[in-house]
Structure 1
């Protein structure tokens, strides 16, 4: 039998924030979504909703196709035509899959145009490009992981720097292969350009690319008591933290103890009865632009409704090498998916909750 102290682990460290405001007069909500590049899951709860508008459903399903490439040649990211058509025009997003950010090599391209390589020491030395030790390595001179960041928007294909990067990536990809998912969003005002243009481009380079669609589901729950949100300190209602717990339980289909004889730990003190509550869930690869498009459609919908609130929960990929704001990301010993939740009221009030992995070093 193991000593109990062996399993006396402290909870993973994370950073949790709450903020409030008016979504009709500020861009805070869109700003939060814009900084989180790699989104895997979107969960939406709409109380007192019988029919969900089709544009909300499509903006989480049909309009969110992405692509998967096995053994992706990373030199394609610095192809001169690719840089001009998809990096400097619109927003391109890519991420390795099947890799673990705490023990494998990981690569990502952010919508801001940064190619980020998070590499183990041996891979970093094989690459031969300038980088920096991981912020999560205590002894920088003995670092086991390194980060290399290349700004694709400013690189000049006719420069010696470009030639050096191209040569390094060419040699590197001969020994290292990656499976990637990717998506491209056309520039604002040019939505008539098909996002599938990125697939056609890679096919011309003889790269085998597969189209993927999010896994979208929806369900309805009848005659359920939903919590009344305490938007301000002097309001009567449930604390935002308790509402978030209730939302998590509802989204997972937990028994919320609606019957008096079956009261659960998720029963709220202040509630309102709703005839039907809709739950939408999409799993796939959602870029910031697509999240923002969904939020814009949602704001139009709820502005003309008279229900208690609408809730949107978004979770990222645990093994993305980049955290919000181009910071380095780590999964081991931390909350990994960098999630956030929006609570929106038809009158304009909002509550934003963010949960991010800690940037502090682990204690030994």
Structure 2
């Protein structure tokens, strides 16, 4: 009756193969530029529990704050600009705002303030922006990018005063915000606490969950066969398997199961146990990179498995994906990347976005 419902949402999956020791490897850039992440998932076949070193890295993930009804103009406070924004490594994302319905705001660690707003808000703001790439025939949404580190945004300057007036008087945008900060200098801590003291806020720690899967069918992967021509399954099938594992879906298609007919892709092997660990919250790229470095050392000692997987999920309603590239929900909100690590330090990188997003870097 509704044939359009049978169509799967289009998405973009970019796949790369490299080696961590290669001088042109860009894995660090891919991790550091994916600013807003809400979940990390690690799958290690043949492993039953987190090592003490992995557990230490995960438990040291940075705390973050949920601030209620925070006006956007507070990010332009002179003390906050000088000691927090200009110092770098501050992440701020509006909380529970839908990118295709609400005004959505993000402050990047690079100092760029991103406002993804509807047409009425944009026209009232009076600050230059550009039409969103997620518009239809007529622009109904705009993206305003304000570089708070630019010389023109120095306090007391004309442009600074004009932007401050727009955000404070013309359109006093406010939202609940998630705030995270990696480097905590004394002046930065003081300025951040000063801002928090003026609003209701709560400190949070990332939530860690770890469990062991028994008798799990796993895809057999060969580092040389990224496309899955012969010795590995194809990338889409592998990511689908990871999703099934994360969702607790059985992968053996037993005759007694009435819930799922899903089966692990070929070639496959049965492992007696596998570790599945997840971390959720506002997860900073610096912490994720520390986890990646520790996972690289996993194969320093002989292991049963030849590979392990790290998946990082970005917020579906973040206004950006990688760097300042615009992100939109469209139909699926895809905004993630996956790294498959091999014994010889080779790795596969899968990056997923929506069909309208800019191609990942």
Matched, 1:338 2:335: yes
Do 1:183 and 1:195's aligned partners in 2 also have CA atoms closer than 8 Å? no
Using the TM superposition, give the Cα deviation of residue 72 of structure 1 relative to its aligned residue in structure 2, in angstroms.
0.2
SS of match in other structure, 2:233: coil
2:323 to 304, 313, 325: 325
**1:83-104 deviations in whole A, cap 9, x for unaligned?**
2212222311111112111111
Matched, 1:143 2:136: no
Using the TM superposition, give the Cα deviation of residue 197 of structure 1 relative to its aligned residue in structure 2, in angstroms.
5.7
In structure 2, the residue matched to 1:169 is: 167
**1:137-178 deviations in whole A, cap 9, x for unaligned?**
244xx421111110011221131111111111111464x431
In structure 1, the residue matched to 2:113 is: 115
Matched, 1:200 2:228: no
Structure 1: any 5+ residue segments left out of the alignment? none
SS of match in other structure, 1:256: coil
Looking at structure 2, the residues matched to 213 and 74 of structure 1 have their Cα atoms a distance apart, in angstroms, of 24
1:220 to 204, 212, 226: 212
Do 1:64 and 1:213's aligned partners in 2 also have CA atoms closer than 8 Å? yes
SS of match in other structure, 1:322: coil
Looking at structure 1, the residues matched to 185 and 86 of structure 2 have their Cα atoms a distance apart, in angstroms, of 18
**1:337-360 deviations in whole A, cap 9, x for unaligned?**
311111101211111111111227
1:100 to 94, 98, 101: 98
1:210 to 191, 202, 222: 202
Looking at structure 2, the residues matched to 269 and 5 of structure 1 have their Cα atoms a distance apart, in angstroms, of 34
Looking at structure 2, the residues matched to 48 and 137 of structure 1 have their Cα atoms a distance apart, in angstroms, of 47
Matched, 1:246 2:236: no
Do 2:335 and 2:352's aligned partners in 1 also have CA atoms closer than 8 Å? yes
User: 1:28-43 alignment to 2 at 5 Å?
Assistant: 28-43=26-41
In structure 1, the residue matched to 2:149 is: 153
SS of match in other structure, 1:323: coil
SS of match in other structure, 2:294: helix
User: 1:252-331 alignment to 2 at 5 Å?
Assistant: 252-257=247-252, 265-306=262-303, 307-331=305-329
2:347 to 345, 350, 356: 350
Given the superposition, is the C-alpha separation of residues 194 and 247 from structure 1 closer, same or farther in structure 2, using an over 3 Å criterion?
farther
Looking at structure 1, the residues matched to 357 and 211 of structure 2 have their Cα atoms a distance apart, in angstroms, of 40
Using the TM superposition, give the Cα deviation of residue 8 of structure 1 relative to its aligned residue in structure 2, in angstroms.
4.6
Given the superposition, is the C-alpha separation of residues 127 and 37 from structure 1 closer, same or farther in structure 2, using an over 3 Å criterion?
same
Looking at structure 2, the residues matched to 291 and 137 of structure 1 have their Cα atoms a distance apart, in angstroms, of 33
Using the TM superposition, give the Cα deviation of residue 113 of structure 1 relative to its aligned residue in structure 2, in angstroms.
1.3
Structure 2: any 5+ residue segments left out of the alignment? none
**1:56-102 deviations in whole A, cap 9, x for unaligned?**
33444442311011110212211122122122223111111121111
Do 1:106 and 1:117's aligned partners in 2 also have CA atoms closer than 8 Å? yes
**1:266-324 deviations in whole A, cap 9, x for unaligned?**
23433344332111011211122221121112212333342221101111111111122
1:81 to 75, 79, 82: 79
Given the superposition, is the C-alpha separation of residues 118 and 258 from structure 1 closer, same or farther in structure 2, using an over 3 Å criterion?
closer
**1:240-277 deviations in whole A, cap 9, x for unaligned?**
33322222212211112287998954234333443321
Given the superposition, is the C-alpha separation of residues 162 and 44 from structure 1 closer, same or farther in structure 2, using an over 3 Å criterion?
same
RMSD (Å) for aligned C-alpha atoms: 2.7
Looking at structure 2, the residues matched to 195 and 164 of structure 1 have their Cα atoms a distance apart, in angstroms, of 26
Given the superposition, is the C-alpha separation of residues 278 and 328 from structure 1 closer, same or farther in structure 2, using an over 3 Å criterion?
same
Do 1:257 and 1:267's aligned partners in 2 also have CA atoms closer than 8 Å? yes
Aligned residues: 349
